[in-house]
Structures are given as C-alpha cells and as structure tokens.
Amino acid sequence: MITWGCQMNVYDSARMTDVLRPLGYAPVDNPSDADMIILNTCHIRDRAAEKVFSELGRLRVIRDERKAAGRETVLAVAGCVAQAEGEQILKRAPYVDIVLGPQTYHRLPEMVARAARAGGSVIDTDFPAEQKFDFLPQDAAPQTAANVSAFLTVQEGCDKFCSFCVVPYTRGAEASRPAASVLAEARRMVAGGVREITLLGQNVNAYHGEGPDGGVWGLARLAYALAKIPGLERIRYMTSHPRDMDDALIAAHRDLPELMPFLHLPVQSGSDSILKAMNRGHTADEYRRLVDRLRVARPDLALSSDFIVGHPGETDEDFEETMRLIGDVGFALAYSFKYSIRPGTPAAGAPLQVAEDVKDRRLQALQALLREQQDDFNGSVVDRVAPVLFTGRGRKPGQMVGRSPWLQPVHVDGTDELVGTVRPVLITTRLSNSLAGTLTEECALA
C-alpha cells in the first residue's frame, strides 16, 4: 500500500487493508514482496497525474521482475487521481489492473476477483448510493504499535467550492456518516488498542450525521458521545472550516478534556479581497474573532493553518495582510503552498495570475515567519510537564516516541511498555521538529 496525500488517504489505505485481509492479504514493507500493489493517490496540487505515471513506471519494472521469477502482481491505482483521470490511466498505463475512486474501496475484493477472472483491467470510479462504511469488516483491527493513534473518517466531500480547489470534484458532495456507525467503529478501534482518534473530513466540522435518536448530530454532539468510550484518551478532528465552527463545538473545547487543545483551522489568506475571491465566506477579522472565542473556551489551545500564496489577483498589499494576520494570531504549526492551477476550478481561468518568482518570494517570507512562530511555540513547552501519549519506538535504541496534547512528537528514554499509555514528561529540549524530555512522576501536568 503506497499512500500519498492527506490523512483521509491514510484512513482509506487502512480500510482497503481491512477489506483485503479476509482474502489473505497483509501489508508488506517492500513492493518487491507484494502480490498486490495499491497506489493511493492525491490530486490536490500540480503535476499530480505526472507523478502517478512516473511511479507507475517504477512499479511496472518491479512487476516485470516478479513475473520473470514466476510471481504475479496485481497493480491498482486508487484515490483522487484515479477518480479524476479514470480511463486516462488505463490508456496511458494499460498494464494497470484496477482503477478505483475513493468512494468504491469496499468493492475492492470484487474488483480483485473480476480482474483475476477477466484477465483485463477493471475500473470503478462511481459515486455509489450505498455507503462504503457499511461494508467495513466488523472485527477489531489487530493491535500494532502503529495503531495507538488512528484516523476515522466521519464526513467526506465538500459543497463549498473554493475557487482554487479540486476536492468538490474528486471527492463529491458533502456527506456525513450516521453517528452510530462512527461510534461502533470507534469502539472497535479502542478494543484493538487505539487510544487516540482523529476524526477526519474535508470539512469535518460541517458534520451533520443521523443520530441514534433520529435527530441530526453535529460534530460537538459526536465528540461528547465519543468521550464516553472507556479507554479512548484523546479526540482530535481535522480539517475544519472557519465557517462551520459553531457555538456547540467551541463549548465542547471548554467541556471535554479528551478533546485535545490543538486545532487545524485553515484560513488560506489574511486579505479580505482574496478571501472573497477564494469564496471562503468569511473575513480576516471574523477569523480573528473566532480564534479569540476559542481561546476563551480553551486557553491552552494551539492553532495550525493552511496558507496559499499567489492566488490570482493577490497583490503585495494582500500578502502583507496575510503576514499581519499571522502576526496577530500566532500559529503553532502551518502548511503553506504556492497557488497551483487546478484545471476545471474557477481560479484556473482567472485573470491576474501571479508570476512564479513573486509566489516564491512570498512563500519564503511567509514560511520564515511561520517557522519562527513554530519554534517559539515549541520552545514555550520546554521546562514544563506535558502528558504524552506514547505511540511506539523512536529511531535510536532505547528511545520511545509519543505526542504532546499539541501534536508535538516527544522523545524519551524508555521501554515498550509505555506504548498506548499517557505519561507525564518533563520537556527538556526543543529539537528542530520535535521535543525531548524525561519521564516524571510529577502530577502537576501542564
């Protein structure tokens, strides 16, 4: 299973693994050992399809080598490039056996059987009426160190149509899973050793699933119900849209200690005219006020965001507004991108495309400021005690790694028995992208 792109793809890859397990498949580390290779692709930025074709070329070589040794390999392309390019993939890479979109992975066993029977290629990029989530295996996934923290998709698709974005076209219309189905999957995960669940959705806080009581549940209601599952220590969710951050969810941050004080809340730009051109539906000041309300509810809340520089029409002044917003809010983490034309989206044909060298310059300045803020934030945790959920071994012998409530990787000297537990750690050192500390018995948690 080769996974590119967002956390939803990580979740989808795990579910494809689950549906294939009854057929006798299990994940391997090396493609040369694989009887089936699934490339789970991402379409969000430039040259996505080219990247897929070049990887397929590499995988074809592996497949041919295996064939020469008498071993067959099923080659499948999944995810958003499969959804967007479909037939084109089979035309350019006819050696691919299966092409499937993000909405049809529950049909994978059937596709594998069809490909084996027919000996040709199978393509399935439908948006089927049946919910793929209803077809997931009902047994708990086997416990591994890697699954202390797991993703759980609760909402998919998007109706917001931001000017720059392909998601509404590749992932389809917004849809939420029924709360009972989410809660059942969460319980199975916890039974299998999961201690932290990150609820996923392209607009996760637009969640409006059918509740077990017949009413409509928002994300806050779902979080309160999840917090009651014994053994589930931590709840996170991403990606949220500022427009969907309602009072109930803000209150949940105040009320639920299980809801971690770290929120990914993309703003994209700090300029009102660019936010308008992007069709984001809020102003920069509305975002500032929203952050203020969240921080009143949960004073230790850290924020992360996505930024796009060089959206069509972005002037130096617009860019300065973005820098000003960053300065005002202060981010613990951020992802920033140069605007990349996605054919078929409204911004692709817009006049006033920004020159590449201008985008480069702006991105550098923006990332320097964000890096400074990230370092400051990580530094602010040093000399404090933080509860760390341990997820596995570190790179060095005798080292274990976990996450702070603010998603920072934390290393300590320790043994395997730490895995799956939350322990107080005195943070001693800030490294470039992580923290180091020592286990402590001190109960005065930060």
**Binding stretches for ligand SAM (CB under 6 A):** 6, 44-45, 164-165, 167, 202-203, 239, 241, 266, 268, 306, 308, 337, 339-340, 342
Binds 168: which of ligand SAM, ligand SF4, none (CB < 5-8 Å by kind): ligand SF4
Cβ of residue 120: shortest distance to ligand SAM, in angstroms? 33
Stretch that binds ligand SF4, among 108-116, 165-173, 314-322, 411-419 (CB under 6 A): 165-173
Nearer to ligand SAM, 160 or 423 (CB): 160
Q: Which of 167, 223, 333, 427 binds ligand SF4 (CB under 6 A)?
A: 167
CA-based nearest residue to 208, from 244, 168, 167 = 244
Exposure letters 245-269 (e unless 16+ CB within 10 A, then b): beeebbebbeebebbbbbbbbbbbb
Structure tokens at 407: 């998603």
Do β-strands 422-430 and 385-393 pair in parallel, antiparallel, or remain unpaired? antiparallel
Binds 13: which of ligand SAM, ligand SF4, none (CB < 5-8 Å by kind): none
d(CA 333, CA 407): 9
Judged by CB under 6 A, does residue 158 bind ligand SF4? yes
Binds 337: which of ligand SF4, ligand SAM, none (CB < 5-8 Å by kind): ligand SAM
Contacts of 102 (CB under 8 A, 6+ apart): 8, 9, 12, 78, 79, 80, 83, 156, 170, 171
Instruction: Check: CB of residue 439 under 8 Å from CB of residue 412.
Output: yes
Binds 161: which of ligand SF4, ligand SAM, none (CB < 5-8 Å by kind): ligand SF4
Do β-strands 422-430 and 98-100 pair in parallel, antiparallel, or remain unpaired? unpaired
Q: Please, what is the angle between helix 316-329 and helix 284-297, to 10°?
A: 10
Q: Where are the beta strands (DSSP E) in 36-153?
A: 36-41, 74-78, 98-100, 122-124, 149-153
Number of residues engaging ligand SF4 in binding (CB under 6 A): 10
Binds 311: which of ligand SF4, ligand SAM, none (CB < 5-8 Å by kind): none
Structure tokens at 117: 């029977």
Nearer to ligand SF4, 94 or 349 (CB): 349
d(CA 267, CA 322): 9
Which single residue is written with the structure tokens 């390019």? 85
Nearer to ligand SF4, 135 or 337 (CB): 337
Judged by CB under 6 A, does residue 93 bind ligand SF4? no
Cβ of residue 8: shortest distance to ligand SAM, in angstroms? 8
Nearer to ligand SF4, 109 or 168 (CB): 168
Where is the binding site for [4Fe-4S] cluster, in residues? Answer: 6, 42, 80, 158, 162, 165
Where is the binding site, in residues? Answer: 6, 42, 80, 158, 162, 165
**Which residues in this chain contact ligand SF4 in the complex, by CB under 6 A?**
158, 160-162, 165, 167-168, 202-203, 241
